[in-house]
Amino acid sequence: MQRGFSLDAVPWWIWPVALFAVSFVIGIIGVLAGVGGGVLFVPIVGGFFPFHLDFVRAAGLLLALTGALSAAPRLLRARMASLRIAMPLALIGSITSIAGAWIGLALPTHVAQMALGATILAIALLMLLAEKSEFPEVPAQDRLSRKLGLSGTFHDPATGRDHDWRIHRTPHGLFAFAGIGLLAGMFGLGAGWANVPALNLLMGVPLKLAVGTSGLVLSVIDTSAAWVYINQGAVLPILVAPSIAGVMLGAKIGARLLRVVRAGTVRRIVVALLLAAGARALLKGTGVWS
Amino acid sequence: MDEESFSAEEHAYARWLDLGTRVGFAILIGSFLAYALGLVPPHVPVEELAKVWTLPVDQYRAAVGAPAGWGWLRLAAHGDYLNYFAIAFLALVTALCYLRILPRLAARNDRIYAWIAALEIVVLVAAAAGIAGAPH
């Protein structure tokens, strides 16, 4: 009996071309919604492309890593990112991201798919519910924050004004970044979706400084986890290169569209995409829709 | 010591990161073009690759005789593994940036941050060396 459509029948060259196209769109949407590419890339490519999840997670990490590496110098020079805030958080996160990558590669594929689906659905929920505070109220620094010298002045180029900032709940922040690192390594997700709320709402970092510092932390966390995948030989250039090129190009277009597109609408599109990709990963993991 | 006194380290870090990322991207573009255009023959032909990219990475390695760890260096004359130079370089850039700021932090007696930088270098080097390798 003739079976339905088989992925084996698709010529191989379709996949890198499709990857480039999908990554290009992810690059545009990621910039407009402020989520980076990795969180969309892994569930979408893992769910709808033929590559094994091991290769997709490695590509997702490298995608997020290259994006963060290329943006960080500009953010640091503009004082829109703080190395002083990033370093302690990145140290904890990079250790746990290695553990996360280790766990992710050890899990049976269907379990990893289900866990990825559940995580993506939780991220979509977080994006729906999370609030933001441009300049959070920080009544007092905690002891660790004082010891680490986590205070300063942030110059907002949009308003031309200086804002003093200081950090609280530093131990909670370190704990949060331990969890973020674990998830980033396990699923190959960039962690901007979690970094920004943790820095902004939990630790009291001004929003714009939190966004910039998030990228810097991500570049360190993803580097550590990426090495685990590189050392396993899980990097397929034919998957990685078109994806990086597509996202980088899309991100440039996205940055130009920022002024004309309504952020709220894009955010709703991203939540819908995450819900669909998360559900697909869950169904794939449970064997309902392989 | 606070954020304001940290700007010299941030600028040094940014300078090295910028340079390292540009070099890494240039190698990535060059090596991928060499691979994609068939200028350097791959270890795994693309038609063969399409039959095994659905496998978990350990089964993939066994199927195509792909190396783990830094074993790719032995295959670096092949188009596909040529790309690993760029990937490895991009993954080393952060450790190089930390190496750049470590002596500065130590010189101005910022002990806590010097220790954090030193520990981060240890973590990244351990990850790169495969000490934190994964089971399958």
Contact at CB, A84 and B87, closer than 8 angstroms: no
Q: What is the C-alpha separation between B94 and B13, in angstroms, rounded? A: 9
Selected residue with higher pLDDT from B55 and A130: B55
Pick the residue from chain B with its C-alpha nearest to A52.
Answer: B54
Pick the residue from chain A with its C-alpha nearest to B1.
Answer: A149
Mean pLDDT of A72-91: 92
Contact at CB, A72 and B14, closer than 8 angstroms: yes
Residue B109, phi-psi category: left (phi > 0), alpha (psi -120 to 50), beta (remainder):
left
Quick check: B63 contacting A, CB < 8 Å?
no
Read off the pLDDT band of B133 (50, 70, 90): low
pLDDT at residue A4, as a whole number:
52
By residue count, chain B amounts to: 136
Domain ranges of chain A: 14-149+165-286
Choose among B72, B83, B90: nearest Cβ to A65: B90
Contact at CB, A91 and B134, closer than 8 angstroms: no
pLDDT at residue B21, as a whole number:
92
pLDDT tens-digit map of A177-220: 999 999 999 988 877 778 888 999 899 999 889 988 988 999 99
pLDDT at residue A1, as a whole number:
42
Contact A184, A178 (CB under 8 A): no
Residue A188, phi-psi category: left (phi > 0), alpha (psi -120 to 50), beta (remainder):
left
Most trustworthy range by pLDDT among A7-21, A185-199, A249-263, B34-48 = B34-48
Quick check: B60 contacting A, CB < 8 Å?
yes
Quick check: A90 contacting B, CB < 8 Å?
yes
Contact at CB, A101 and B134, closer than 8 angstroms: yes
Identify the H or E element spanning A59.
helix A53-77
pLDDT tens-digit map of B101-117: 999 999 989 999 999 99
Selected residue with higher pLDDT from B135 and A170: A170
What residues of A are in contact with residue B31 (Cβ under 8 Å)? 237
Strand stretches in A137-277, DSSP E = 151-156, 161-166
Quick check: A182 contacting B, CB < 8 Å?
no
pLDDT at residue A2, as a whole number:
45
Is pLDDT at B20 greater than 80 in this prediction? yes
Is pLDDT at A31 greater than 80 in this prediction? no
Choose among A50, A98, A238: nearest Cβ to B46: A238
Read off the pLDDT band of A40 (50, 70, 90): confident
pLDDT at residue B13, as a whole number:
94
Q: Any idea what DSSP says for residue A51?
A: S
pLDDT at residue A124, as a whole number:
87
Quick check: B54 contacting A, CB < 8 Å?
yes
Is pLDDT at A51 greater than 90 in this prediction? yes
pLDDT tens-digit map of B24-79: 999 999 999 999 999 999 999 998 999 999 999 999 999 999 999 999 999 999 99
pLDDT at residue A181, as a whole number:
95
Strand, coil or helix: what is A154? Answer: strand
Q: How far is CA A164 from CA A136, A150, A156, A276, B116, in A?
A: 11, 11, 11, 41, 25
Mean pLDDT of A241-264: 81
Contact at CB, B68 and A12, closer than 8 angstroms: no
Mean pLDDT of A139-166: 89
Quick check: A72 contacting B, CB < 8 Å?
yes
pTM for this entry: 0.90
Is pLDDT at A36 greater than 80 in this prediction? no
pLDDT at residue B134, as a whole number:
52
Q: What is the mean pLDDT of chain A?
A: 88
Which structure tokens are listed for A27? Answer: 């690059």
Is pLDDT at B135 greater than 60 in this prediction? no
